[in-house]
Amino acid sequence: MTKLNSKIPSGSIDTKWTQYKASVPLVNPANKRKIEVIVVGTGLAGASAASSLAELGYKVKAFCFQDSPRRAHSIAAQGGINAAKNYQNDGDSVYRLFYDTIKGGDYRAREANVHRLSEVSGSIIDQCVAQGVPFAREYGGLLSNRSFGGTQVQRTFYAAGQTGQQLLLGAYSSLQRQVGMGNVQMYSRHEMLDIVMIDGKARGIIARNLITGELERHFGHAVLLCSGGYGNVFYLSTNAMGSNVTAAWKAHRKGAYFGNPCFTQIHPTCIPVSGDHQSKLTLMSESLRNDGRIWVPAKPEDAKALQNGTKKANDIPEADRDYYLERRYPAFGNLVPRDVASRAAKERCDAGFGVNPTGQAVFLDYAAAIERYGKIEATKQNLSNPDSATIKALGKEVVKEKYGNLFDMYLQITGENPYETPMKIYPAVHYTMGGLWVDYELMTTVPGLYALGEANFSDHGANRLGASALMQGLADGYFVIPYTIGNYLSQDIRTAAIPTDHPAFVEAENNVREQINKFFAIKGTKSVDYFHKRLGKIMWDKCGMARNEKGLKEAIEEIRALRIEFWSDVRIPGESNEFNPELEKAGRVADFIELGELMCLDALTREESCGGHFREEHQTEEGEALRHDDKFAFVSAWEMKEVGKWELHKEELVYENIKIAQRSYK
């Protein structure tokens, strides 16, 4: 059994990173020019890494499957990005962000990584502002902040409900600048389909040109996977349609361990499923929980009436509403972390209090916020005795400025006006904390192969706090990898570029071609989506918000059967040497099916509840997640032996700076 070496530097927590940076070997500028780095994915992690490495002088090749690097799914992040700037003078600090993140992750993240993340958080904001990212500002011209779930300070920087878009466009502009300068070669509409290994090291990739179908070989001294998360294993998620696990899974098949695959974030505030045609779910930003109040009816008969359409939200009097988050968690109220909020919604809906025809929705109500803001506005404008219509109109304006784009989106999708009637929301798969296992330097268990951003498992433990994904993606790309990659590449300065007619490249390309030919040879009867939907249903029902031993065992059997059926009955139209989205999907779904099995295995093995992983057998009397720190304070790192067979390795988690405790938001 390989012993996992997390390479955490020695020393006290607040000096580890500083000392690491001061002592890590450097690569001199003349040598950097000779070293090639491959970056797969151009979201926040990939674009920031590619541009930063190119600025340092490395030769970078960047790949994305979309038609432009600007379309990576980081673009859809809405609410904001955390940073321990303490601009609000409300007691924030590097330590507090570190603490909140460890606690929010339910004590399943690595202390040293999280502290580093917290340390560099402030520099991220500085960098983005310098690029011209138009964050929200106060009238004095300084940056504005808001609060997010799981924290009691205001440390979230934002750009309306489009923070991810603005940060990504900032990183993209830096990337395009390097493309223009010839330091980055950009390969859009290219999908990585295998890692090339030479002498035990990652030395390149095989990529498919999605327009011509041609397979290409690319050499790199190192390969960075910045390919995002795998929430689409559930078919329905808030991820983009193209988001996939393929790059990470190919790496896993080549020896990279997969960390905590079962840690999935189910986001509490998404627009509920409307029918079988549904292709994706849409998130309504967590920032809405700042001002919105979440409720269901207190009386079962009212819930019935809402379900069969005889009553509407506004017919339920105030006294008959159950603001269940405020009731159960008075200290954090509507701003409890995502896992807690999601489970609480499920609990109410399972008990029969859901508010739409499927019974799978709760209300997110802005009436109180509109009135509160309206009154403040009226006072500002010196209006004496304003009538309720005036207050409402003034309040709506304020809400519109803060959340206008989200409200518009809700109206487009549902046809209901959220300024007039409460929104209906329900939890949906949103983010995956699990991912490729990496050490402190972000290297996987394969030498020379790195994973950044959502693609790695590292910083969020069993539950990610809101506005921390953007922080981690940019931290990894701008401020971590430029230093840590030096430790590896400084040993590699004598390695000349390996020609791509090397047998390892030829073999990897042949394997990819074989799989593509295999797809076309099946000539089955069902579309790729048919299998993807079935996989998603198994995962959601048995490896979703609540899991149990029986369900997980069933799911593993069902997924194995589905895998066999997929490989004998899928139909791929068209040809391999053309633009063929069905072929692309087939490759991704084949990998999702294998991943789904591993997620269930991981969930089955982890006999405790923590963060987003809720095992029904392990809960407190009040229905809260019950951890077993004596047995499970470790990272599960899975090594693939063959399809459907894995070996578990454990990285013990040591808490030297934070006292491990039962998480409470009451």
Partner 1 sequence: MSTTGMNLTLKIWRQKNGNERGRFETYPVSGISEDMSFLEMFDVLNEQLITEGKDPIAFDHDCREGICGMCSMYINGQPHGPNDRVTTCQLHMRSFKNGDTIVVEPWRAAAFPVIKDLAVDRSSFDRIIAAGGFVSVNTGNAQDANSLPIAKENADEAFAAAACIGCGACVAACKNSSAMLFVSAKVSQLALLPQGEPERRERVINMVNKMDEEGFGNCTNTGACAEECPKGISLENIARLNREFLLANVSGK
Q: Which residues inside 107-146 make contact with partner 1, applying CB under 8 A?
A: 123, 125-143
Sheet holding 423-432, edge to edge: 264-270, 423-432, 362-365, 293-297, 321-322
**Residue 75 or 452 with smaller CB distance to partner 1:** 75
Sign, Cα dihedral of 369, 373, 374, 375: positive
Strands 190-198 and 201-209: antiparallel
**CA–CA distance from 324 to each of 77, 277, 327, 619 (Å)?**
27, 31, 5, 19
- Closest distance to partner 1 from the beta carbon of 136 (Å): 7
Among 7, 21, 34, 85, binds partner 1 (CB under 8 A): 85
Asked whether position 412 contacts partner 1 by CB under 8 A, the answer is yes
How large is the angle between the packed helices 246-253 and 581-605, nearest 10 degrees?
A: 60
Q: How many residues bind partner 1 (CB under 8 A)?
A: 83
Site residues for partner 1, window 464-503 (CB under 8 A)? 478-479, 482
Distance (Å, rounded) from C-alpha 530 to C-alpha 524?
12
| Span 168-197, contacts to partner 1 by CB under 8 A | 169, 172-174, 176-177, 179-180, 186, 188
Identify each DSSP E strand in 175-226 by its residue range: 184-187, 190-198, 201-209, 215-219, 222-225
Residue among 76, 266, 294, 512 that touches partner 1 (CB under 8 A): 76
Measured from the Cβ of residue 568, the count of other Cβ atoms closer than 10 Å reads 9
Q: Give the pairing of strands 634-642 and 258-259.
A: antiparallel
Binding residues for partner 1 restricted to 505-524, rule: CB under 8 A: none
Which range of residues in 67-75, 349-357, 429-437, 651-659 is near partner 1 by CB under 8 A?
67-75
Choose, by CB under 8 A, the member of 87, 519, 531, 614 that binds partner 1: 87
Nearer to partner 1, 316 or 572 (CB): 572
Site for partner 1, residues 219 to 248, rule: CB under 8 A: 238, 240-242
Q: Which stretch binds partner 1 (CB under 8 A): 68-76, 98-106, 109-117, 603-611?
A: 68-76
Q: Which is nearer to partner 1, 237 or 456 (CB)?
A: 237
Length of the chain: 666
Q: Within 259-318, which residues bind partner 1 (CB under 8 A)?
A: 274-275, 277-280, 282-283
Measured from the CB of residue 385, what is the shortest distance to partner 1 in angstroms? 31
Rounded distance, CA 456 to CA 592, Å? 17
Instruction: Mention every residue, 6+ apart, whose C-beta is less than 8 A from residue 170.
Output: 128, 131, 132, 133
Distance of alpha carbon 625 from alpha carbon 433, whole angstroms: 17
**Which range, of 73-81, 296-304, 353-361, 607-615, touches partner 1 by CB under 8 A?**
73-81
Are 205 and 39 spatial neighbours (Cβ–Cβ below 8 Å)?
no
The residue among 99 and 530 lying less far from partner 1, judged by its C-beta, is 530
Q: Please, which of residues 548-587 interact with partner 1 by CB under 8 A? A: 571, 573-574, 578-579, 581-582
Residue 196 or 284 with smaller CB distance to partner 1: 284
Structure tokens at 530: 């048919």
> Which of residues 9, 14, 55, 648 is near partner 1 by CB under 8 A?
55
The interface with partner 1 within residues 587-646 (CB under 8 A) comprises none
